[in-house]
A and B are shown apart, each in its own frame.
Chain A
């Protein structure tokens, strides 16, 4: 009897508690996704060439989807942009991780009495809009900006570097700068929860600082790191804004720019939808992996 009770009550309670979340997902994720599909495979207004969604899957027309699909192969016009996206996002994520992990580690484990202040500082970037932070870089990097002035040692010689016209490195650094706060916070949350007794145990059992970090801290942090990387990777994949502000050159176009360009071109909303679907498929796979990893992590802990 004692065992059966907790099984019975949650059977009603938990679904009720989950209902708002499930409803939210249905309304704001699955339904919009269906709208995107209806537009990708839909029709176009003959005069304005705006997208006309077709709701019945039996009447779907794959023209726009195949238009995109046939152009993303290694010879396709969209291939360089897709490769570029992967490279930029990977580079920016690695850079983010290299910056964020030590910061998060320090704040969570070594900051001592300054911890409160440091957490407040970590949250500070969220008070300033992403756009403002990028525009600040536009200001710093423009030809007569502070950065070139520093490079010229106060005007002694002319570095003559055009940072804002299609430099891949600027876009990658911009992405890393923009998204690093989003990585530090989850990493901090994960590291802060690390069980102190486990670390003490590893030291008691003879591990030195390095090996206890490599063999205990890192493995225990893996789900956290995965979550933090995903949290920054996914928005970066769809980012077009950083690119538009810091480069605006086709040379650095990413998939987010392709989506933005096709959304704004009449008659090509379907193509934009096709890119959205491709990004979605490409991100769902690692997402599933992540969910599995975290579930396994929970099993270990319980």
Chain B
């Protein structure tokens, strides 16, 4: 087809039209502004209440966000939507719930809490979210979570007493505990002959060039940077000290130079596959790693270190019901389901993360040979929660300072 030459705009016409378009652009902005919700950021900025073990918080319950009534029937033929980490909920536990109530359960996944909160804010209709206590203030302040009606969750009596009135949610108004874990060091004896746990500073092994291209650290700014602080002997792992953060930044640069670690949360499969020999690791991941080992490689090559005096990173995740969910009754019932001792134990064996159940004690795990001898250090003991260090929610400015260090590290190296 012949293109009509000369019938299109010439350069001057083009420039004129472009100018008109450019001049009209701000009206587009006004148009978009009219469409969007009022930002409401102009007034005084609400500050976050931050829960700490030594200053427990009882969260307010908003008038427009009351718990559901007693004795409501579960929603019929519904799809219960769960928002969770990948590989962090046993398929069998889901199946059992589906069969019991004749409903469907749909699990969507996220990679880290930051990503999850951003998505929750965009107004999704998930019923249940697997939260960390470092998010609870934002979840409550932002009116994203729904308060619990305790009458649906009798199984709460099965969990460790400290979790029925936790410091991050006094009176468990919004949360039930899900898993507990420590953050230490994991390694494979066939790739790392040294006994990392016997070193004077096991964290420092990650900086040892002998393990170049064999290491990994956890892809979570707070968990990874807290490890650097602990390695340097600083136990305030929520520090707002500029000097400390600068030091962490320098240490992370040195880390890239020394061993160029992978930054990932898939060590539970990468270590069994042999890509990683030494890694900062969650206790649940080293237990989980056993089931990813290739044929012919036994679990005896896996090792885990966490300071046995409990002076390390201890954590717990929890389940919350979301205000945007369409199935609040089912959501309560699911929380109760996961606190059932048999379900919790099956879930533990599927995902490797220990639930704080009264029926599961360090002694029982050893006695039943649930955890092999070489991984006993990955068992979480109740007393760790008295001596361990907890990553806390950071206030906005401090959070930004931490993230800037972390992003510079992720961009880094030569």
Measured CB to CB, the residues of A under 8 A from B are 6-7, 10-11, 14, 31, 34-35, 38, 43-50, 52-57, 71, 77-78, 80-81, 142-144, 162, 164-167, 247-251, 253, 257-258, 261-262, 264-268, 271, 302
Contact = CB atoms under 8 A, between A and B. Distances in A.
B117 A47 contact: no
Interface string B24-50: 011011101100100101000110100
Interface in B244-281: 256, 260-264, 273-276
A165 B262 contact: yes
B396 A264 contact: no
A261 B412 contact: no
Where chain A touches its partner, the secondary structure class is loop
The 7 closest A-B pairs by CB, nearest first: A143-B274, A46-B45, A55-B29, A55-B33, A162-B213, A251-B413, A77-B408
B69 interface: no
B214 interface: yes
A298 to B, nearest CB: 8
Given A265-B403, A266-B117, A80 B276 contact: no
Given A142-B273, A162-B275, A166-B262, A253 B115 contact: no
B400 to A, nearest CB: 5
Interface of B: 3-8, 25-26, 28-30, 32-33, 36, 39, 41, 45-46, 48, 111-112, 114-115, 117-118, 121, 138, 141-142, 213-216, 221, 256, 260-264, 273-276, 294, 396, 399-400, 403, 406-414
A197 to B, nearest CB: 20
Given A47-B138, A165-B275, A166-B260, A250 B30 contact: no
9 contacts: A55-B36, A56-B33, A164-B262, A165-B214, A166-B262, A249-B260, A250-B412, A258-B410, A267-B400
Contacts of A57: 26, 29
Nearest to B403: A265
Contacts, number: 160
A7 B138 CA distance: 64
Interface centre among A78, A264, A271 (most CB of B within 10 A): A264
A43 B41 contact: yes
A14 B403 CA distance: 52
Given A77-B412, A166-B262, A47 B5 contact: no
Given A45-B121, A49-B396, A71-B408, 5 more contacts: A47-B141, A50-B118, A142-B275, A264-B115, A265-B407
A245 to B, nearest CB: 10
A46 B399 CA distance: 12
B413 A144 contact: no
A50 B410 contact: no
Nearest to B5: A302
B33 A47 contact: no
Contact of B46 (A46, A54, A165): A46
A143 to B, nearest CB: 4
B40 to A, nearest CB: 9
Contacts of B29: 34, 38, 55-57
